[in-house]
Amino acid sequence: MPNSEIVLKVEGLCVYFDNGGHFIRAVDGVELDCWQGQTTAILGESGSGKTITAKAIMGLIKHTPGVISGRILFGNQDLTANLEKICRVSNSNYGLTISKDTNHWHQLLKHRMAPLYGRKLAYIFQEPTRTLDPLLPIGKQIERVAARFSRAEGAGSRERVLNLLECIDLKPASSYVGRYPYELSTGQCQRLVVALVLLPRPRLIIADEPTSSLDVLTQKTVLDYLRSRQIQDHFAIMLITHSTDLVREYSQEVVVLFAGRTVERIATPLIDNGSQLHPYTEMLVRSESVRQVQEPAGKEMIDHSLTGCIYRQRCHYYRQAQSHLRGLCESENPPLISIGDGHQVACWKYQDSAD
At residue 60, the pLDDT reads: 82
At residue 90 the predicted structure's pLDDT band, cuts being 50, 70 and 90, is low
With a cut of 50, say whether residue 290 has pLDDT above it: no
At residue 119, the pLDDT reads: 87
With a cut of 60, say whether residue 84 has pLDDT above it: yes
> Is 262 or 167 the better-scoring residue by pLDDT?
262
The burial of 259, by beta-carbon neighbours within 10 Å (0-12 exposed, 13-18 middle, 19 or more buried), is given as buried
With a cut of 90, say whether residue 204 has pLDDT above it: yes
At residue 131, the pLDDT reads: 87
Q: What is the mean pLDDT of residues 77-90?
A: 71
With a cut of 60, say whether residue 98 has pLDDT above it: no
At residue 298, the pLDDT reads: 45
Parallel, antiparallel, or unpaired: how do β-strands 39-43 and 236-241 relate?
A: parallel
**Angle, helices 138-150/186-198, rounded to nearest 10 degrees:** 10
With a cut of 50, say whether residue 343 has pLDDT above it: yes
Cβ atoms within 10 A of the Cβ of 107, count? 13
* High-pLDDT (> 90) share of the chain, %: 32
End-to-end CA distance of the chain: give it in Å, rounded: 18
With a cut of 60, say whether residue 91 has pLDDT above it: no
Q: How far is CA 98 from the centre of its chain?
A: 26
At residue 145, the pLDDT reads: 87
Q: What is the mean pLDDT of residues 336-340?
A: 89
At residue 36 the predicted structure's pLDDT band, cuts being 50, 70 and 90, is very high
41-77: b or e for each residue (b if 16 or more CB lie within 10 Å)?
Answer: bbbbbebbbbbbbbbbbbbbbeebbbbbbbbbbbbee
CB hemisphere CA count around 281 (13 angstroms): 28
DSSP state of 40: E
At residue 146, the pLDDT reads: 84
> Is 82 or 197 the better-scoring residue by pLDDT?
197
Q: What is the mean pLDDT of residues 114-130?
A: 87
Q: What is the mean pLDDT of residues 334-349?
A: 90
Q: What is the mean pLDDT of residues 203-222?
A: 89
Identify the bridge partners of residue 71 per DSSP, sorted by sequence position: 11
Q: Which of 31-45, 51-65, 191-205, 334-348 has the lowest mean pLDDT?
A: 51-65
